[in-house]
Amino acid sequence: MEVAKEYTDIIGGHGRFQLTILIFCFFCAAPHCMHDFSITFFAPNIDYWCARPNEVLQANISVNEWRNSSIPIIKSRTGLDEYSQCTVFNSSIANGLLYHQNNTNPIKCNTWEYDHSTYKRTIVDEWNLVCDREWLVGMAKTVYMAGFLFGSVINGQLSDRFGRRKIFIFCIILFLIFSFLTLLSTNIIMFLVCRFALAFGITSVFVNSPVIRECIHLLSLLQNLRTDQCSMCLSVLL
């Protein structure tokens, strides 16, 4: 009598249940790359400049006239000349024309205008994450990866203690809740908290999915491990 080497030799490794598990893990893994790259669209590199005062707007001074007359030219990080994005000359309106005082140093501005030709709305222009607050964009990326790291450590321990299925479902629910809350964030603090919790929840997919898929036959599992890669590629394309 032949002795079964694997439990899947007894219960089968190619049934409807295994297919359901595989499809479920596929669609759970897909959002991971979406959120990994979403910060690129939440906080893209957009052009901005010091905002025109009310009297300049009332005089119908265009953006190009304002920048040519009132925005100083500085050296960029690449050594090229470009308009300053954080300073402006003290300007005034006379006879419908724009003048800035000679021999004056530029001053920092606290309001900005943004180029919306490509991106209509981002967290950069919504919360003014520019100049002295530009570091908060990098902080958003760091907080997300911190949540991913923290979740990788904690989710494994919680799964061993309470069961992988329970923790998997809990983290999926956590991920869905904070995905929507991220879109509804009203300030940068709320955005950072939601991104951390979102990353913590989505980590469970990669911690628990390999164990859940142990019910699939070994030979099929080696082939089906490509589902993670396929789901990531699909999410990037979308």
Q: What is the pLDDT at residue 219?
A: 46
| Structure token pair of residue 10 | 């007894």
The span from the CA of 90 to the CA of 100, in Å, is: 6
Q: What is the pLDDT at residue 228?
A: 58
pLDDT tens per residue, range 188-236: 999 999 999 998 888 877 776 666 666 555 545 555 555 555 655 655 5
How many CB atoms are closer than 10 A to CB 220? 16
Is 70 exceeded by the pLDDT of residue 155? yes
Region 21-38: mean pLDDT is 72
Q: Classify residue 60 as left (phi > 0), alpha (psi -120 to 50) or beta.
A: left
Region 16-40: mean pLDDT is 73
Higher pLDDT, 154 or 100: 154
Interacting residues of 41 by C-beta distance below 8 A, sequence separation 6+: 119, 122
Is 60 exceeded by the pLDDT of residue 30? yes
Arithmetic mean of pLDDT over the chain: 78
The span from the CA of 51 to the CA of 126, in Å, is: 14
Q: What is the pLDDT at residue 217?
A: 55
Higher pLDDT, 127 or 222: 127
pLDDT tens per residue, range 66-105: 888 888 888 777 778 888 888 888 776 666 566 666 556 8
Is 50 exceeded by the pLDDT of residue 142? yes
Is 60 exceeded by the pLDDT of residue 153? yes
> In degrees, to the nearest 5, what angle opens at C-alpha 174 toward C-alphas 184 and 149?
100
Global pTM value: 0.77
- Range from 1-5, 108-112, 206-210 carrying the lowest mean pLDDT: 1-5
